[in-house]
Amino acid sequence: MDITDAPKGRALAQMLESGEIDALFTANVPQIVLDGTAKNIVRLFGDYEAAERDWYRRTGIYPMMHPVVMRKDLIAEHPGLVRAVYDGFLAAKQAAQQRYEHARRLFGATLFLPWAGHLLDRNAELFPEDFWPYGTEANRHTIDTFLRYHYEQRLSDRRLTVEEVLVPELLGT
């Protein structure tokens, strides 16, 4: 596999569209797909929602989004910083969850999307507690599986553990 940076000033979506690259792995739908001008780009999984729901049912894994990283020297200089950042993100997440619950009680009317209430209900059935859990224990299986894949695909020289890749301050979360 040849991995190189995109040329300066070139957009990956246009490179995919022109055939300069074979695939693009991204959480963001390319703009040319959103605006309907892409002619040569398709999703790997046409019914990606069904595929993702099936994957979660079978594995218990819904990929984590946006892990937070910090420099070790910053952590050493500021005791308590790790916990303060974690607690801040947790409070923000809880505020967002409250907005979702409010929207759900109003049948999704605050979201201005048809059938939003039904989608919220379906997600609540699949993820009864928390569809984006924070903390080590809630994510241990997912992180451990990632680390196994990382080793199996020879991206690491040895099988790393959850304890090795997360800060000790958050291991009990």
If 0-12 CB within 10 Å is exposed, 13-18 middle and 19+ buried, where does residue 13 land? buried
Give the pLDDT of residue 74: 95
Average pLDDT, the chain: 89
Give the pLDDT of residue 61: 92
Q: Structure pTM? A: 0.78
Residues of the chain with pLDDT under 50: none
Closest residue by Cα to residue 26 from 63, 70, 60, 80 = 63
Q: Where are the domains of the chain?
A: 62-170
CB atoms within 10 A of CB 52: 14
Residue holding tokens 């553990």? 161
Give the pLDDT of residue 109: 66
Q: Give per-residue pLDDT as tens, 72-105.
A: 999 999 999 999 999 999 999 999 888 888 877 7
